[in-house]
Structure 1
Amino acid sequence: MTRPKKVPLRQCVACEAMRPKGELLRLVRTPEGEVLLDTTGKKAGRGAYLCPDPSCLELALKKKRLEKSLGQPVPPELVEALREEMKRRCQGSGA
């Protein structure tokens, strides 16, 4: 009898909901100190997860939760990239 594969769960830094890793957006602070959007979920470095919901992004920015989790400020161009990725995911899901 085979066991079902365990789905890794991660917590959104904004709403603190536990969701499957694949549903969340991951930001990573690389060992070089660069903050990036990690679309693969496998880049090396300190990660922070965020629901693909604009309200979670706004809450995380307002309360500086991404900065606290990553240990440094999030560049404005990355915030814009996150907003674009969220729009793309919403359109892709038919919402």
Structure 2
Amino acid sequence: MQKKKIPLRMCAGCGEMKPKKELVRVVKSPEGEISLDLTGRKPGRGAYVCKSIDCLKAARKSRRFEKSFSCKIPDEVYDRMEEEISQNE
């Protein structure tokens, strides 16, 4: 019997490769809206971050999401993402 392959994704904050299920997807919708995708099913371009505030802050500081999505991300969006991650920790 073959072992099932586990998809790995890189955290935008710490840069570690982790199983996809351990990370939270940040998605840029076709309309240009950036939000957290806790289900992993929303349409659009995705980037991943650990479920910790520290990794989100590191990704914000190094502007990893802005590079991934090729657009400027307002502070309100980061603040909303921090609130959602702190509620789900």
Q: Give the TM-score category using the shorter length.
A: 0.7 to 0.9
What's the RMSD between the two structures over aligned residues?
1.6
The aligned residue for residue 27 of structure 2 is: 28
**TM-score for the superposition, normalised by structure 1:** 0.79
Runs of 4+ in 1 over 4 A off after TM superposition: none
Identity of counterpart residues, as a percentage? 46
Aligned partner letter, 1:35: I
- Bigger relative contact order, structure 1 or 2, given CA contacts below 8 A and separation 6+? 2
The aligned residue for residue 53 of structure 2 is: 54
The C-alpha deviation readout for 1:17-58, integer Å capped at 9, x for no partner, is: 011111111111112211121111122211110111211111
**TM-score for the superposition, normalised by structure 2:** 0.84
Unaligned runs of 5+ in 1: 91-95
Unaligned runs of 5+ in 2: none
Equivalenced residue count is: 89
Alignment of 1:68-79 (within 5 A): 68-79=67-78
